[in-house]
């Protein structure tokens, strides 16, 4: 008994383990939204499908793993890509996230085959280097290669990837203060969002463009893009996106010195991030609040908010966030003349920026250190950090920062007695300032011209006020006359256009009606059948395609007028006697549509009886199908597929001979799939007949049937292929 129980349990366990997983059907656009809005939820979904990260060295091992999991290779790759992106996301709290991401990227690189595969690997490599190494220049090169790997004609998944690539490129260039390429890539990302017609992506890229213009101090344009973003997002469905927009608006209003609005938006963003559990962004809102109070000179409140942000970033292990907070705290302590704490925090920030190759932050940090040491008259240290800042600014083409650094260097050199080098720095400053002279001159000239135009306008306004009052009445009268004239013309034009519209509508209705009739018999044609099937297909129960075989060429033998008269008489007789809808396919071929199930033998006899007194001296052949062809209601077949099947049945019936009337009909088995009826239709149906998936019924001998073949499989040996 115990052995029997053990055996049963083993078999049951083996059966459960061998069951394939459900197919993973991830929509590319919806998945991208979930990644940005609910990364933790997406992470749980991916971990459920891949509880353990697979290890494979080549395509064969990947294939074996996919078969074992009951997934396709494409699905495994898709889940691994998402897992790599999630490991590199701010939402990840795993200490080994970069190691995990690196392992996954390396494996995906080994099995990359398509352009999408290669592009995704390059994008992930760029993301990894940008996040882990802070090497933004290399990251940009990898992202550009990723964009180039995608084909010219892209499917939805490739378009979503391109949207992300362009967005990341724009942000990377923004961080490097390269405004022109940043705007170029962000606009490219916006174009992709427009092609995808997805409101979420449109709102996202509009908000990034708002951030771009905020960085350029173009606050009007920034606000316009945020307004556009708000139009396309839904706060209740996209809480993360809404919080991001609120945070950015707080920054804009801070720059516009609208303190109440800035604090309102920052507080709302902080509340949203706390509800969502996004602590890294809560830190960002603390930083924005600190900067709002810093702009107002409330330095002690500023320090409190920076310390709160620092505490959150330390908890999350966000080293770059900590470095930025150290820098900001250094500035705040300097403002309250606590230079010891200022230097301490700035040096800690410097260590992190150097270790992460973050020169775009380091330049500002060294400028501030040089400023603090200058205030302490520690000229050698001031010179050291000023020179470092000058070199970085020169490399990054930051003109204003370069000038500021050279000013600190010149002042320190002067105090150290190196007047020659100090003079060279001053000359260099003059050269750099000359680059902006024309801009300054243009601005001054514009201001002067504006003031002059303003004075002229005020003088002319005084002179014309009296004349304006005199002319108002006559202008009003003239405006009234013109308005009445325009209204009259518009009324006439509207009437004329209405008549044209009415005529065109009548012509359109007539043309549409004629397009559904055979031009000779004026009977509903094949196009009418397609339309009726699409509208009322659920009421169709039996379709029969009949051939008056001996009369197929009667239109040539007796002329179209005589043949048309004969066909009309036949169609009228059939319609009156059988109570069905009839479609004229071509001379001698009619399509009968019944709303009831009809026995083929009975129908063939009834057709023969109808035609006895209506030019019935012809052999009859019929192809018939009962609807629905497939028992599964979820499987839908088109009107064209039904008509093609009827044609094949009729063609088969004609091969049985002319000694009597013949019909051929088919019935798929219950488990048959819709794949039977896809092109090449004749080939797939014949294969299914041979396999026994489709049963054939006829009043002739089945062995006498010669199945028709399309040219595409005319020479295919089906028996060999099926073996």
| Full-model pTM | 0.53
DSSP-H helix ranges across 542-590 = 554-557, 560-578
Q: Note the pLDDT tens digit of each residue in 11-67.
A: 444 434 444 444 567 899 999 999 999 998 999 999 998 888 888 888 898 898 888
Sheet containing strand 542-548, edge to edge, reads 581-586, 589-594, 542-548, 620-626, 662-668, 694-698
Identify the residue with better confidence: 320 or 590: 590
CA angle (310, 311, 314) in 5-degree steps: 85
Mean pLDDT, the chain, rounded, equals 84
Q: What is the pLDDT of residue 717?
A: 62
End-to-end CA distance of the chain: 46
Q: What is the pLDDT of residue 616?
A: 85
CATH of 526-722, one of 3.40.50.970, 3.40.190.10, 3.30.70.270, 3.20.20.80: 3.30.70.270
**Do 526-722 and 337-435 have the same topology in CATH?**
no
Q: 410 Cβ partners below 8 Å, 6+ apart? A: 422, 425, 426, 429
169 pLDDT above the threshold of 90: yes
Domain 337-435 has CATH 1.25.40.10: yes
Domain spans in the chain, listed from the N-terminal domain onward: 14-111, 337-435, 472-515, 526-722
Mean pLDDT for the stretch of residues 345-352: 89
548 falls in which pLDDT band (50, 70, 90)? Answer: very high
564 pLDDT above the threshold of 60: yes
Q: Note the pLDDT tens digit of each residue in 397-439.
A: 888 888 887 888 888 888 888 788 777 877 777 777 776 544 4
Mean pLDDT for the stretch of residues 170-195: 92
Number of residues written out for the chain? 723
Phi/psi at 241 (5° precision):
-60, -40
Q: Note the pLDDT tens digit of each residue in 107-130.
A: 999 999 999 999 999 999 999 998
Q: What is the pLDDT of residue 700?
A: 92
711 falls in which pLDDT band (50, 70, 90)? Answer: low
249 pLDDT above the threshold of 90: no
What is the SS3 assignment for 141? Answer: helix
């Amino acid at each position: 008994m115990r052995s029997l129980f053990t055996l049963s349990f083993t078999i049951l366990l083996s059966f459960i383990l061998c069951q394939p997983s459900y197919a993973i059907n991830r929509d590319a656009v919806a998945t991208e939204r979930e990644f940005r809005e609910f990364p933790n939820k997406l992470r749980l979904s991916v971990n459920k499908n891949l509880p353990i990260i697979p290890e494979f060295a080549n395509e064969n091992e990947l294939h074996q793993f996919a078969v074992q999991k009951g997934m396709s290779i494409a699905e495994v790759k898709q889940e691994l890509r998402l897992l790599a992106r999630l490991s590199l996301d701010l939402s990840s709290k795993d200490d080994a996230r970069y190691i995990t991401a690196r392992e996954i990227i390396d494996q995906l690189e080994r099995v990359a085959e398509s352009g999408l595969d290669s592009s995704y690997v390059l994008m992930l490599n760029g993301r990894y280097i940008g996040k882990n190494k802070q090497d933004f220049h290399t990251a940009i090169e990898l992202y550009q290669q990723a964009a180039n790997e995608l084909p010219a004609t892209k499917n939805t998944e490739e378009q979503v990837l391109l949207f992300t690539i362009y967005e990341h490129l724009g942000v990377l260039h923004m961080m490097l203060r390269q405004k022109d390429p940043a705007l170029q890539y962000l606009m490219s990302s916006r174009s992709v969002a427009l092609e995808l017609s997805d409101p979420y992506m449109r709102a996202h890229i509009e908000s990034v463009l708002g951030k771009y213009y905020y960085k350029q101090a173009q606050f009007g344009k920034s606000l316009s893009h945020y307004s556009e973003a708000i139009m396309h997002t839904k706060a209740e469905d996209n809480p993360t996106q809404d919080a991001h927009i609120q945070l950015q608006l707080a920054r804009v209003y801070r720059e516009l010195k609208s303190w109440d609005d800035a604090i309102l938006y920052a507080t709302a963003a902080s509340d949203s991030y706390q509800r969502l559990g996004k602590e890294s962004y809560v830190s960002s809102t603390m930083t924005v609040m600190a900067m709002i109070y810093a702009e107002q000179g409330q330095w002690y409140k500023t320090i409190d908010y920076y310390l709160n942000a620092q505490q959150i970033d330390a908890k999350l292990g966000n080293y770059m966030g900590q470095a930025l907070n150290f820098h900001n705290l250094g500035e705040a302590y300097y403002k309250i003349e606590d230079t010891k704490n200022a230097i301490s925090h700035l040096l800690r920030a410097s260590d992190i920026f150097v270790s992460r190759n973050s020169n775009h932050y380091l330049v500002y940090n060294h400028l501030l250190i040089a400023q603090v040491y200058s205030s302490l008259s520690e000229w050698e240290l001031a010179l050291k950090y000023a020179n470092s800042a000058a070199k970085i600014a020169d490399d990054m083409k930051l003109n204003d920062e370069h000038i500021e650094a050279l000013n600190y260097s010149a002042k320190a050199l002067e105090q150290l007695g190196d007047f020659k080098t100090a003079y060279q720095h001053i000359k260099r400053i003059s050269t750099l300032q000359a680059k902006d002279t024309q801009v300054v001159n243009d601005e001054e000239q514009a201001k002067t011209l504006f003031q002059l135009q303003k004075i002229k306008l005020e003088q002319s306004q005084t002179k014309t006020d009296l004349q304006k009052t005199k002319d108002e009445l006559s202008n009003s009268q003239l405006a009234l006359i013109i308005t009445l004239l325009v209204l009259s013309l518009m009324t006439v034009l509207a009437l004329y256009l209405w008549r044209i519209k009415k005529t065109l509508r009548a012509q359109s209705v007539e043309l549409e009606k004629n397009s559904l009739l055979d031009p000779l018999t004026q009977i509903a044609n094949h196009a009418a059948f397609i339309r009726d099937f699409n509208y009322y297909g659920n009421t169709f129960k039996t379709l029969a395609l009949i051939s008056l075989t001996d009369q197929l060429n009667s239109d040539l033998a007796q002329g179209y007028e005589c043949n048309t008269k004969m066909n009309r008489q036949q169609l009228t007789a059939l319609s009156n006697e059988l109570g069905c809808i009839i479609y004229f396919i071509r001379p001698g071929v009619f399509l009968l549509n019944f709303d009831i199930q009809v026995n083929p033998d009975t129908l063939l006899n009834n057709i023969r009886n109808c035609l006895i007194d209506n030019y019935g001296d012809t052999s009859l052949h019929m192809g018939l199908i009962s609807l629905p062809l497939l028992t599964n209601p979820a499987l839908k077949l088109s009107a064209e597929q039904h008509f093609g099947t009827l044609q094949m049945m009729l063609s088969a019936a004609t091969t049985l001979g002319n000694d009597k009337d013949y019909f051929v009909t088919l019935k798929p088995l219950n488990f048959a799939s819709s794949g039977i009826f896809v092109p090449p239709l004749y080939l797939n149906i014949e294969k299914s007949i041979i396999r026994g998936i489709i049963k054939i019924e006829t009043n002739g001998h089945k062995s006498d049937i010669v199945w028709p073949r399309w040219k595409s499989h005319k020479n295919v040996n089906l028996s060999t292929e099926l073996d």
